[in-house]
Structure 1
Amino acid sequence: MKPRRSVLYLPGANERALEKAATLAADALVLDLEDAVAPEAKEAARRRVCETVAAAPYGRREVAVRVNGIGTRWHEADVRAVAEAGPDAVVVPKVGSAEDVRSVVEALAEAGAPEHTAVWAMIETPAAVLRAEEIANASEALTVLVMGTNDLAKELRAEPGPGRAPLLTSLSLCLLAARAAGKSILDGVYNDVRDVAGFEAECVQARRFGFDGKSLIHPSQLEPCNRVFAPSEAEVEHARRVVAAFTDAEARGLGVVTVDGRMVENLHVEQARRVLALAEAMRAEGGH
């Protein structure tokens, strides 16, 4: 299990930001060649990002590169260069179909990308939401869906606001698609970096929905995001008691187990084991 509580976008054209990221407590980093890079800086940013990936300065953090979208004049060159650099993943913006996913997977293979380089698909349009199931099942190389909530809200002509009511249907459909396909899914960004309370509330909402983590635009968002998406000490301790009680009951041939006054079934044990696995993965990655 890879913790993906906090996934921070870094502008590929900003050398200082790329260097500073080595000190940040993000579970994963996305070195961005798309929205964060002006057209005249695309090629220089591509070189810098690929050199950074090849140098591997980020330790055990998961490192992805967001390429420019399919059909743009930079996309094919981005994919070829990134394939050679071999990051953990390639983030593809504005994926609209299963065929989009397969085309990127094929292009990466043709360019000699290592087997460990996965594809993350961004869901940013109404059409993509309605095709989320086929997108999620398009390839085994696709491991993560990423919600692009800003573009999605624009396409819907929605004004999300606190609670994000206009986006909840889309978020739920994509979450269902990801879980049915056995893939991870990340919530979209929160734009107001000064609104700490609003950001934390959105993290809590996303965790309750079942998202694995959230994509971020500023280092100040890392601490609350990591905290909200991590199992608390109380949750970890409860999970240990559930697993221990169930294991003991099985050994004694008992059919009914209670922990803290509540009946425990197989589904609760599976949930508890997932909590313990996530806590262990966080410790392995350095805790933060």
Structure 2
Amino acid sequence: MQHSLPRPRRSVLFVPATNEKAIAKLAQLACDTVIFDLEDAVLPEQKAAARDRLAKFFAERPAGAREYVVRINGLKSPWGADDLAAASGWATDGVVLPKIETPRDLLEANDVLDEADALDTLKLWAMIETPRALVNLAAVAELGRDPSARLSCLIAGLNDLAKDTGVRLTPDRRYIQPWLMQMVLCARAGGIDMLDSVSNDFRDLDAFAAECGEAAAMGFSGKTVIHPAQIGPANAAFSPSVEALAEARAVVDAFALPENTSSGVISLGGKMVERLHLAEAERLLARAAQLESLRH
């Protein structure tokens, strides 16, 4: 059975648009997606130069399957409108809107892209990093059901969310886990991806790997990262494990047996297995094949 799979977003690397050295090294990295940042990582006096640097990059965009998106400045800032207007003409896969709060924020950005005749392949991403965004999250994510709205992905922005709410970001993230699960639930209801927030301590890779594992178990699509060293652990956590693939193959093989081809439920290894589990297994194997193809 063939499955239509979205492109993987296991590791999504933030790169300051002004960091020439980091941009030059991108070809050597294994991240699935790059977010060029025009917002927090760029000083006000560097905004215009950073925008010009990205225009040059996208004019000479490298070939390959990697996804490149741009985080613009907020549309209410002095730079946001120019950022969005410029990005509408670039060969970028998406525009990340920071600090969105209501569906209207996305719809207004989408109107600008439509008026600029931006390609339909240019998608909108949204940062969920304010209390209002979290309160309005279900309505925001529902835009993912309307292809004309362009919404493709949401990103948890826990640093700003913690700052605005006073909730402590402990290493185990215990106080903010209910919000993380709410984000995943709303994103899935809208049929879009949900990416976990960045981890600020890029030196403690063991803690980072554990956080990635928990995020994968929560249902996140991938992890935003701020350092190349974090790419490997993120890719590993959000890729099918050897054990999961073996179990998936066993399910597919069991249903392929002549005596099971017309069965809705079978017994496998002492467990009841339904056809919904077969569909899950086929998707997992298809994802593994997709990831393997990207390596070559």
How high is the TM-score relative to the length of structure 2? Answer: 0.93
Alpha-carbon deviation of 1:207? 0.5
Alignment match of 2:141 (pick from 136, 149, 161): 136
| Contact 2:255-2:261 within 8 A present in 1 as well | no
User: Deviating runs (4+, > 4 A) in structure 1?
Assistant: 249-252
**1:110 and 1:51 mapped to 2: Cα distance?**
23
Structure 1 250/284 Cα, relative in aligned 2: closer, same or farther at 3 Å? Answer: farther
Alignment of 1:64-83 (within 5 A): 64-83=69-88
**2:242 and 2:292 mapped to 1: Cα distance?**
13
Structure 1, residues 76-105: CA drift from partner, whole Å, max 9, x if none?
100011111131111111010100011111
Structure 1, residues 9-60: CA drift from partner, whole Å, max 9, x if none?
0000111111111210001110110111111000000111122122112621
1:104 aligned partner: 109
Alignment match of 2:192 (pick from 183, 186, 189): 183
**2:265 and 2:161 mapped to 1: Cα distance?**
47
Alpha-carbon deviation of 1:286? 1.6
Aligned residue pairs: how many?
A: 287
**2:282 and 2:78 mapped to 1: Cα distance?**
46
**1:55 and 1:250 mapped to 2: Cα distance?**
56
1:197 aligned partner: 206
1:218 aligned partner: 227
Alpha-carbon deviation of 1:228? 1.1
**1:62 and 1:259 mapped to 2: Cα distance?**
39
Structure 1 50/234 Cα, relative in aligned 2: closer, same or farther at 3 Å? Answer: same
One-letter identity of the residue aligned with 1:174? M
| Contact 2:248-2:282 within 8 A present in 1 as well | yes
1:240 aligned partner: 249
Alignment match of 2:66 (pick from 54, 61, 65): 61
One-letter identity of the residue aligned with 1:80? A
Alpha-carbon deviation of 1:263? 1.4
Alpha-carbon deviation of 1:260? 2.6
**1:261 and 1:180 mapped to 2: Cα distance?**
32
CA RMSD of aligned residues (A): 1.5
One-letter identity of the residue aligned with 2:65? R
1:114 aligned partner: 119
How high is the TM-score relative to the length of structure 1? Answer: 0.95
Structure 1, residues 228-271: CA drift from partner, whole Å, max 9, x if none?
11111221122122122224367643343123332111232222
**1:104 and 1:254 mapped to 2: Cα distance?**
49
Alignment match of 1:272 (pick from 270, 281, 287): 281
**1:119 and 1:180 mapped to 2: Cα distance?**
17
2:165 aligned partner: 156
Runs of 5+ unmatched residues, structure 1: none
Could you say what secondary structure the match of 2:198 adopts?
A: coil
| Contact 2:61-2:91 within 8 A present in 1 as well | no
One-letter identity of the residue aligned with 1:95? I
Alignment match of 1:165 (pick from 167, 171, 174): 174
Runs of 5+ unmatched residues, structure 2: none
**1:12 and 1:219 mapped to 2: Cα distance?**
16
2:43 aligned partner: 38
1:256 aligned partner: 265
Structure 1, residues 136-192: CA drift from partner, whole Å, max 9, x if none?
123431011111111111111111112101211211111111011111110000000
**1:252 and 1:108 mapped to 2: Cα distance?**
49
Structure 1 93/58 Cα, relative in aligned 2: closer, same or farther at 3 Å? Answer: farther
**2:169 and 2:259 mapped to 1: Cα distance?**
48
- 1:86 and 2:95 matched: no
| Contact 1:53-1:86 within 8 A present in 2 as well | yes
Give percent identity, aligned residues only. 42
Structure 1 252/284 Cα, relative in aligned 2: closer, same or farther at 3 Å? Answer: closer
2:129 aligned partner: 124
Alignment of 1:1-12 (within 5 A): 1=5, 2-12=7-17
Structure 1 250/119 Cα, relative in aligned 2: closer, same or farther at 3 Å? Answer: farther
**1:171 and 1:150 mapped to 2: Cα distance?**
13
Comparing 269-278 with 125-134, greater Cα deviation is found at 269-278
